[in-house]
A and B are shown apart, each in its own frame.
Chain A
Amino acid sequence: MSTFTPDAVRELGGGWSEFRLAALDRFAAAPLPTPDEEIWRYSRIDQLELDRFVPATCTTTIDAPDGLVVDAEPELFPDETPDVFAELNRAFMSPVVIAVPAGRTVADPIVVTHTIAGSGTAVFPRLVIDAGEDSDVSVIERFVAADGADDDTALVVPVLQVHAAQAARVKYLAVNEVGERTWQIGNQQAVGERDSTTLLATVTLGGDYVRARTEARLSGQGGTTKQVALYFAGGTQMHDFRTIQDHDAPHTSSDLLFKGAVQDHAASVYTGLIKIRKHANGTTAFQTNRNLTLSEGAWAESVPNLDIETNDVKCSHASTVGPIDEEQRFYLESRGVRPEVAERLVVLGFFEEVIAQLPAGEIADDLRFRVSNKLDLTGARKELAGTPS
């Protein structure tokens, strides 16, 4: 018996029951995906037992200047959904809508924090960032475990929608620090109009299985997107990313830098697609994915793809999977740095390229600290628990 029923939709409240029930119908009519589908290849989606979770309202706090958080209306949510989980989100979503008026520059980052309660709940946060013409805004969306819920099971199915109007500048950062028994299956979709600039950044440290499909489409000429991510999986965690850079207008540029590390028996997947449509001449697109495998039993997969329909493009991709560079380690050790400290410095240095690009100056130190703490260095963990230098 499914827990994702029309009654459950009605019980949650949240309004627009017709809209939600229609989405639930579409969800129920479609099969759950399997790893046989290319977009779910390598994933753990076949291990998901959806009916073990009970839908709940997401507990969310928002730190934003007055007037920017507006009421949600069904019209804000596009009919097209990238997969069944985004559809399920439509049925059960807890929406937050940030609308930045044209010309407005929001000085400080807006912080949206979802506290995941665990206890087998499923939550469906949806964040909409609607940036008006020539506006400027940064938003940090945090997913954290509730106190004491670290070891609880939970399912988080977030959806992000970013719309950058002409010449708007949007910076977005998702920070995932959910508990180690939490599953997260998310979708991020950004659309950039003419001359807009969008940054989609993700930091994933938590979760059991965490998947993010992140799609940046450039619909107007002169638009720019950048996608960056830092992910670090340990234990038996799996971090799974599918990225799309979609050039749907001429003279657009996109850049992507995803850097990950895996240790213990953890796994990670990166699959990226650069799609350059026929009319997107004069486009530049770059895609870089680098992975460190820190333990013998850890596993990382990197699959870059190109789909280019025009000749007038400048496009490249690079991908690497491998252990810490032996030469770098020896160089530091030859100065008298202990091996475990050398490893910590090299791993932090590896991630620094991403951290430097995050729209979150004040949380950068905290992130370095968390990465440093997560490193499973034999016998060194306690010793290194202090503030990183």
Chain B
Amino acid sequence: MHQELNNLYPKLDLLPNLSVREPTMIATAIRPNLFLDLKQNLRRFRKQHFSSWCPNSGLTQYLNKNTKAAPLAVFRILFGLLMLIAVIRFWYNGWIEKLYIDPLFHFHYSGFSFIDASSSPVYLLFVLSGISAAFVCFGYKYRIAIIVFFFSFTWIELLDKTTYLNHYYFVSVIAFILMFLPAHCTFSIDAFRHDDLRYEFIPSWNIDILKLMLAIVYIYAGLAKLNSDWMFHAMPLSLWLPSKFEVPLLGSWMHEKWMHYLFSWAGAIYDIFIVALLLCKSTRLFGFAAVVIFHLLTRVLFPIGMFPYIMIAASLIFFSPSWHLRILNKLTTLFGINGDVFSNGKRTSFGRPPSISLILLSAFMCFQLIFPLRHFIFPGNVYWTERGYRFSWRVMLMEKTGYANFKIVNGVTGNRFYIQNGDFLTAFQEKQMATQPDFILEYGKFLGKHFAEQGHEHVEVYVESYVALNGRASQPYVRSDVDLMKTTYTKLCNQYLTPFNE
């Protein structure tokens, strides 16, 4: 078994010579050698153990398959460019102030409550993510740039969950994957300047992992649409489309019921099958046309910013390496660079016997496959409780409108007063808060603490809340007899939500 598998690996001497940069000073020479020994030992260890553990020789064969790096380079360039535009657009629209500076209070992600907009260098984060996105685009100091981008962008997203959008999460996920991929090995400044970073070929899985991630996004989004509201009541599109009468060409039909059904069904079918269409060579062009039309339609219809462009750019990854190479060659000619230097025939060592990157990314992809399904373990309707709703590719799935009126009560005297939410929250925060139990709870606890600090005694916090879901009449939401100061999120979702009345 050992022998057999070993034969499948290319000869070790094909690996780039890591000792090329031999230090001249004897004193410092020891350390790098020691380090190299360690590295080689580690590799040998992983090779032996992983290989013998792995029963499927097809898998190892696959992991050693190489492909041209061009698609990854195009992906990197477009991703960096779009992120740079996204950051500039965000800033230009004044959203930094509006969303992160102006609000008195911010909603935190559980587990990340130590991140708060008031104590974060918000502008610096935006500057960092903008600059690092540009560096990623040009492939200049790529490794550092993509790491800086991932952390600064994700930090921004963690500042306030009011602004949660699936596409911001998608960006963080892609940036995470890119941290481990050699996206700078061709058509980048790094590769142009350093021979040892330049590779024409990379392991196929480096590209396939991005395709897999897109497949997860689309297919989970599609499966989530297979519910009765979406399929049989054309909700929430029936609520959203009638007000879109301004859209060119289609505008005059936007109030028609059949149009709502058409959009709902087409959307679900598109999400489920698009990746298959893109994978298959004969349907690829048709699939891509569908991608473009679908995303531009969503761009016209809904306020979802850069997302359509990101998805259109990302789905180019399904095109053949030669297609990408031609695009890249056109680009280099445009910039007056000789692109021939990148055709050096070299293959990267990434992923050959399982590298740390491969192991980490495999674990990450398993997480991505499982995490969106977590709502199955929670009781209740996920649309109503919203437990397990985020980070699950539930995109544009519901229209939820709510109203939450908070009451501060002195538990001893019974003296009470109500809160005007506008005193603490922005209109956008209030809208998001009123329909989500975790927001209601966090805000309720904040109010309790605030008034206790102001000298109020025996503070109890109650909420009278109502939610309308997908066109149904408004229903009471959180039970109004529950003191929010004394409850937890799990209890609130499991016991203190008024049952959903279909």
Indicate whether A and B interact.
no
